[in-house]
Each structure stands twice: as C-alpha cells, then as structure tokens.
Amino acid sequence: MAPTGLALHDQLKALLDLPVAIAVGYELELTGVVHIGDQMISAERIADLDEERSTKFGPGRDWTIEVATSTVAGSPVGVERFRMLGYRPGEPGTAQPRKAQEPSPFAWEERFSVTTESIRREAAANHVWAPAHHHIDAAQRAGLADIILDTSSQVARLAGAAQRHRPTERIVGVDLAMKRSILPGATVTLGGIEEGRVSRVSALVDGREASQGTITFGG
C-alpha cells in the first residue's frame, strides 16, 4: 500500500475553497496479507477536520483522510491516514514558531542526495502526479521554493532504511510526520534509533529535521 490520489481530499479542497494542500503526515497500519490475484476495494472518509488557522503559507485548515482497504471478499488489509494542510497561497499568515530540537544520538545513519530529476522520477514511479512534485512554476504558485519530495517517496526512504537494519522482521505500521519540505540539491541524512519493536528514523537536511518516521515491526 502506498499514498495515492484521494477523491475525497480533492472534493474537500473545493468545498472549503482551499486550492492548495500539502501532506504533513501519513500513517499506515497493515492488518492483513495480500495474495497474488486478490481484488481490492477501498473506502474513504474524513477522519478529522480542524477550524481555520494561520499558517506560514496563508489561511488554512488541517484535515485527515482515512482510507480503509480490504479484499472484495471482506478481509481487511490495512488502513492509511493522510494528514493534510490546505491553504490559500498569497495570503500570508503567522505560523506558530517551532521549538528547537536537541539532536538525538543515532544507532545508524544513511545518506542520499536529492535532485530535480530524482524527485520527478520517484513521484512518477509512485503514480503521484500533483504539480508541486513535477513543475517548478506550480510549486512556486503554491508558495513553495521549488518542487518537493512526495509523501510516498519519503515513506519508502525511511521505512526502507529501517527495514535494512531489521532484515528478518516485517513492517506492520508506519507513522510519518513531515515538518519541512525536501527540495532539489539537498543531501538527506537518515538517522535511526531502535526501541524494541520500533525504529524511529529522522530525515535531516543541513542538521535540521525535515521529517520523522516511526516504523513498527511485527516479527
């Protein structure tokens, strides 16, 4: 399972008159096994919708879309939760300042470089076609400095790093919190901390945490 286009999300943007929305978090809970030949069905619902607030991009609202997937025979497979921020670009607001974070000592580290082409290539591989991941002018109209690394790619990068350090265990859950956009030209350091059945993986750019994933293993 991986983040894909959400019909309900697009309808909500139009209803609330919030033309731009970016992902700020993603959760995945795996509850079943998919076999070759299985036919899948998904149901979407609005799990949470907050009041309008000021953001650094302009007036906006937070919401969560939940997508439950099962086989057509009725066997649950998993639940995805997309945490989104919708906003009106060009109407600057005041964002709450973030508290400085103390760096954590990592048990392991990996690094990868991000380019314009790698962002486009990974988004296309994940069937993510939102313009902010492909076209610089569209990203800038949305108030971003450049195209940004998409949610699916971040899930794959952080969860993949955690899996490499637990090769005999199976991922059963992912919780990704995105704090800053990852742009072309970045060198990303992935740092992992192991806590029982959980790997906490941070993605750092220039020493600042851009996102953090909590990866849960089930044996």
| Structure tokens that stand for 45 in this block | 């619902």
pLDDT-wise least confident of 35-39, 156-160, 174-178: 35-39
The reported pLDDT for the residue numbered 3 is 43
Whether 146 and 41 map to the same domain: the answer is no
pLDDT tens digits along 74-127? 999 999 999 999 999 875 554 454 554 555 589 999 999 999 999 999 999 999
Percent of the chain residues topping a pLDDT of 70: 90
Whether 81 and 103 map to the same domain: the answer is no
Q: Cβ of 212: how many Cβ atoms within 10 Å?
A: 20
Whole-model pTM: value is 0.83
Whether 22 and 122 map to the same domain: the answer is no
Whether 43 and 119 map to the same domain: the answer is no
The answer to whether the beta carbons of residues 188 and 41 sit under 8 Å apart is no
Whether 76 and 106 map to the same domain: the answer is no
Whether 170 and 203 map to the same domain: the answer is yes
Whether 102 and 92 map to the same domain: the answer is no
Residue with tokens 């109209």: 141
Q: How many domains does the chain have?
A: 2
197 φ/ψ angles, rounded to the nearest 5 degrees: -85, 5
pLDDT tens digits along 195-216? 999 999 999 999 999 999 999 9
Q: Is residue 5 predicted with pLDDT exceeding 60? A: no
The reported pLDDT for the residue numbered 80 is 94
Could you give the dihedral angle defined by the CA atoms of residues 42, 43, 48 and 51, in that order, rounded to the nearest 10 degrees? 110
Whether 58 and 133 map to the same domain: the answer is no
Whether 104 and 65 map to the same domain: the answer is no
Whether 119 and 81 map to the same domain: the answer is no
Nearby residues of 23 by Cβ (< 8 Å), 6 or more positions away? 3, 82, 83, 84, 85, 150, 151, 178
Among candidate residues 44, 76, 96, the one where a domain is terminated: 96
Q: How confident is the model at residue 10 (pLDDT cuts 50, 70, 90)?
A: confident
Whether 133 and 79 map to the same domain: the answer is no
Among candidate residues 77, 96, 115, the one where a domain is terminated: 96
Q: Is residue 25 predicted with pLDDT exceeding 90? A: yes
Q: Is residue 2 predicted with pLDDT exceeding 50? A: no
CATH of the domain at 191: 3.10.129.10
pLDDT tens digits along 165-201? 999 999 999 999 999 999 999 999 999 999 999 999 9
The reported pLDDT for the residue numbered 8 is 83
Q: How far apart are CA 60 and CA 88, in angstroms?
A: 7
Show the domain range for 8. 1-96
Whether 85 and 119 map to the same domain: the answer is no
The reported pLDDT for the residue numbered 1 is 45
Nearby residues of 116 by Cβ (< 8 Å), 6 or more positions away? 136, 146, 147, 184
